[in-house]
Amino acid sequence: MINPDEIQKIREDFPILHETVRDGKKLVYLDNAATTQKPKQVVDAISEYYLKYNANVHRGIHALSEIASDMYDEAHQRVSDFLNAGFKEVAFVRNTTEALNVFTYGYEKFISKGDEIVVSRMEHHSNMIPFMKLAERTGATFKYIELNEDNSELDLTSAEEVITDKTKIVSVPHMSNVLGTINPVKKLADITHDAGALFVLDGAQSVPHMKVDVKDLKVDFMGFSGHKMMAPMGSGGFYGREELLDKLEPLFYGGDMIKVVTYKDVTWNDLPWKFEAGTPNVGGGIGLGAAVEYLQKLTMNKVRGIEHYLTKYAMKRLTEYDWVRTYGPSSIEKRGGVISFNVYNNDGMLIHPHDVATLLDEEGIAIRAGHHCAQPLTVEKLCIPATNRMSFYIYNTTEEIDFTIDQLERVHKMFS
């Protein structure tokens, strides 16, 4: 059982939540699927790096470089442990998007005409377009795992039919950023591996919100974003099995990702540095390590518990109104802390999500409106131009949900 006092204590670590916006309106931040706010502990860790030991890493033998290198490597170790991965199996990149592009570029030499690449119908553009373009470049067949009848979950029967002995890669989101659906990843991994293919996971919406054990999930490769888990923007990473990363061609070439260079040849550096060309985002990496430390102290079970509590409460409130339509699974157990919804007037006409979001913003409420970088899912499968989306994190409250729904009532009346 979640104690609301625990959430209030967490909120004290996030000064921005006590700021006002829009002519003194109290901030209600419900756009956490886009990016999360940062606690003082993370900001302090980044500030300490820049104020006390700012230096390049893995290059100098002077004191500052040694300290910075140790802190940066320690952040790598902390993130690796967080995912139950080996140190060599986690590299830092800017975000999930870059991670998936690194994979599709690096694995291209193993894909040929006639091979198959499979994704799902609920993909974020970042987990769809890189694989679509990989198929175009190589002549591979690009296929989709279908959704169930109400477009809320993946159809496992479809997965079993679509994934064949010609399939080389299957990539799906652990959790949909539109539907909130938590996919049955272990089952999909088994189907994929039984076909002899690689299983790739988009962890952007799962790593920040639930315990993700890459070994238990049988993942071959996974990307994740730091800014969605309280770390700074421009921080994130990927996990890959060591033997897989050894095979991948690096996407970027330059300093620190090489071991030996002659005028004729080059030998790549050891993992994970093979994939971190040039001066890295040292402050961001240290901030990511600090964010993971914060989550570990709180525990991922607590993180998931808070979001489950808030999602259950919000879904109960939203379903009280016949002029609100929600998308995604009806079962709270199959959902993460994301609720996409639309508001209709008394004539059954859609109130455009941009209008809804604009009117909520006037009251200090931050939600997302649009197709959420999943345009095919929103427009072609759900057959709507856009949705509103509220998404929760560890610092949100039921009072914020109530206030938001009060404002939705105001919007509904205004347009009716």
Select which of 373, 374, 377, 394 is catalytic. Answer: 373
H, E, C per residue of 346-380: CCCCEECHHHHHHHHHCCCEECEEECCCCHHHHHH
Does the annotation mark 383 as catalytic?
no
- CA 112 to CA 115: how far, in whole Å? 6
Contact 34, 391 (CB under 8 A): yes
Residues carrying an active site annotation: 373
